Amino acid sequence: MTTDPNNKAPGNAVPPMKPTFAPPDPPAAAAAGPPSSTWAVAPQAPLRPPPRSAADATRYLCVAVQLDSKLCDRAIESVLKEPHRTVAFSPGVDLVCVLRYAIAAQVRQAATRALLTLVALGVVAAFAFQSFPDSAETVLPVPLPPLVVPLLCVAWGIVLAERLITFYGVLRAKLSRDAFDPARAPRGDPHEEKLLGQVAAEERKGNVSVFSGFEPFLGYGRLVSPWNFTIAVDRPDEQSDHVVPFTLQELTAEVTGALQALGLPGVAVSERVFVNGADLAQGLDPALRRLLLPQPDGRPRTELRPDVLDRLREDGSGRARPYLVTTVSGWSGELVAGSVVRFSLSAARDLLFVEGGTTLLPPIHHRCHQVDHLLDHPTWRQLLALVASSAGAVPRGLLVSPFKTLELLVGGLTDRQKKKEQLRLIALGAFNHGAELSIREAAAEPRFHRYFQQVDSQMYTKIVERRALDTLTDFLADRQVDVSELRERRSVIYNGGVFASDNANVSFVNSPVAAGAGSRLVRLAERASGSRRKEGR
């Protein structure tokens, strides 16, 4: 991995914060009749597509694949060289641009390793052909062969040149804030451009995410606050003797309109289907499987028609499930707070199950921010730092480069063996077609760079969750459903927790509200536990 010539501290690596809120949009024209929700807009409004390019997030990821050769190799192996798996996209990231810079970085790094391999072979040959005097006349220490020192100097120059090209020929010249242009990203060969075109098409049109692991929201960050609750929707309120029937499509449209009307900068609302790649071969309904995987040995399709989404929404227990995904991008796209929610009616249509949670994409690693502090040319101090770090990297480079070069030379054979094994698993119905890597998640820092980033992430998710729950409550109340208990406990729902009543059973997981000796929920649990102990005496 290339080192930092500036040695900047992480606290100086984040660009200044942009304004948090934008002026609200002008109010929409009132529709005929009273709206079913306080916050709702016209339900027929189309879903706002998620933003496909946030310059800084994409730019820093391009920097990441330049500085981290392992991430660069993983990005290419997991996306371009996986013809049977889907791709994990992330909000605000131009993945094609990142992959183009990854390909260029891999070519440059391969050329550097090839040159270092030649130098390493020269050093080995110098020692192999060195003539030693008779043992009786041997004087310790044995002198180095004459060519070793010049060869080590050549290796030093190769490493230094690669780092200068990386920092000042690529990072400063092409990836600085004033020079970055995704349209000018380096182009690959025709085969690579064809694969990149397929990725771009999926990124523009896709509404299906196929994942390979346990958590479904790959590309949106880790699910940090899952929650769920069940509401009886067959019980009318005190002023009514029956409830008004509703469909999940109506409820989803209502919540969608309310979330779109938030007015937060960088907000995006979309409905996506999440399915595990291991279920594509055998676990899905045959008709749905043919839609998602028309060719068993091909890459799954990532676009479904609206009528298919309607059917999946009604089938709440299927293995492919649609979620309403709301993301709010801040800090130039580096911080993406997300909220997912799903509604499901029981077979008797008397219970509504509501599931939700919070996802978070934290800032990209602070080492990628050094691009914002590079000058057009290195200072003497920076040049000396590069010279010193390059000298320290020579021994490892000479040892590792021959093996990496050999791995590249036999890469065709390895790829054929990998393809053969994947086709065997596909024939057995045991292949997992889900994406394995999110480049955005892999390049993220495990912590925030600023305290305000942490506050903003909490603010965004709480605003979105409150609006969704308020809209749900208003929607059900307008259908004459008894939501009195839900309204009484709504503060608990906003903050997380557990409560049970006659017409609602709310269960929240990993909630800060349920923790702490003084919390109301803990006191209720202790009181219930004490009552059970008394009954047992």
Name which of 199, 180, 183 is nearest 59 in CA terms: 180
Tokens standing for residue 179 = 């020079």
pLDDT of residue 224: 86
8-state DSSP, 141:
S
Tokens standing for residue 65 = 């694949």
Paired strand residues for 324: 271, 341
Instruction: Render 186-252 in DSSP notation, one character per residue.
Output: PP--HHHHHHHHHHHHHHHH--EEEE-SS-S-TTS-EE---EEEEEE-S-B-TT-SSPPP--HHHHH
CB 277 within 8 A of CB 181: no
pLDDT of residue 448: 92
Tokens standing for residue 304 = 């479904």
In the numeric block, the tokens 């020929």 are attached to 169
Output the CA–CA distances (angstroms, integers) from residue 497 to 47, 454, 483, in the order listed.
31, 21, 18
Q: What are phi and psi of 505, to 5 degrees?
A: -135, 105
Buried b (16+ CB within 10 A) or exposed e, 513-537: bbeeeebebeeeeeeeeeeeeeeee
One-letter amino acid of 97 = C
Q: Is 37 exposed, middle or buried (0-12, 13-18, 19+ CB in 10 A)?
A: buried
CB 325 within 8 A of CB 407: no
In the numeric block, the tokens 């109340």 are attached to 477
CB 1 within 8 A of CB 68: yes
Output the CA–CA distances (angstroms, integers) from residue 253 to 23, 205, 334, 478, in the order listed.
24, 20, 29, 15
pLDDT profile of the chain (537 residues), mean per 10 = 48 40 43 43 44 71 95 92 91 94 96 95 85 58 77 95 95 94 92 91 88 93 87 88 92 94 90 93 88 90 92 89 94 92 92 92 93 92 93 93 90 85 90 93 92 92 92 93 79 52 39 39 41 45
Rounded CA gap, 426 and 281, in Å? 8
Output the CA–CA distances (angstroms, integers) from residue 525 to 286, 497, 502, 509, 512, in the order listed.
46, 11, 17, 15, 15
Half-sphere exposure of 243 (CA within 13 A, CB side): 19
Instruction: Render 384-416 in DSSP notation, one character per residue.
Output: HHHHHHHHHHHHHHHHHHHHHHHHHHTHHHHHH
Name which of 500, 492, 493, 501 is nearest 520 in CA terms: 492
Q: How do beta strands 222-223 and 320-330 pair?
A: unpaired
Paired strand residues for 499: 506
Helix (H) or strand (E) holding 67: helix 55-67
Buried b (16+ CB within 10 A) or exposed e, 436-472: bbbbbbbbbbeebbeebbeebbebbbebbbebbbbbb
Tokens standing for residue 513 = 């509200």
Name which of 194, 199, 163 is nearest 391 in CA terms: 163
Rounded CA gap, 151 and 386, in Å? 19
| Long-range CB contacts (within 8 A, 24+) of 147-153 | 147/122, 147/123, 148/123, 151/119, 151/122, 151/123, 151/126, 152/119, 152/123, 152/394
List of residues 6+ apart from 388 with CB closer than 8 A: none
CA angle 101, 105, 106 (to 5 degrees): 120
pLDDT of residue 72: 95
8-state DSSP, 111:
H
Count, residues in the chain: 537
pLDDT of residue 371: 94
Tokens standing for residue 423 = 């086709």
Tokens standing for residue 263 = 């007015």
Half-sphere exposure of 355 (CA within 13 A, CB side): 12
* Whole-prediction pTM: 0.79
List of residues 6+ apart from 399 with CB closer than 8 A: 120
Give the 3-state secondary structure of 255-298: HHHHHHCCCCCCEEEEEEEEEEHHHCCCCCCHHHHHHHCCCCCC
Rounded CA gap, 279 and 23, in Å? 45
pLDDT of residue 463: 93
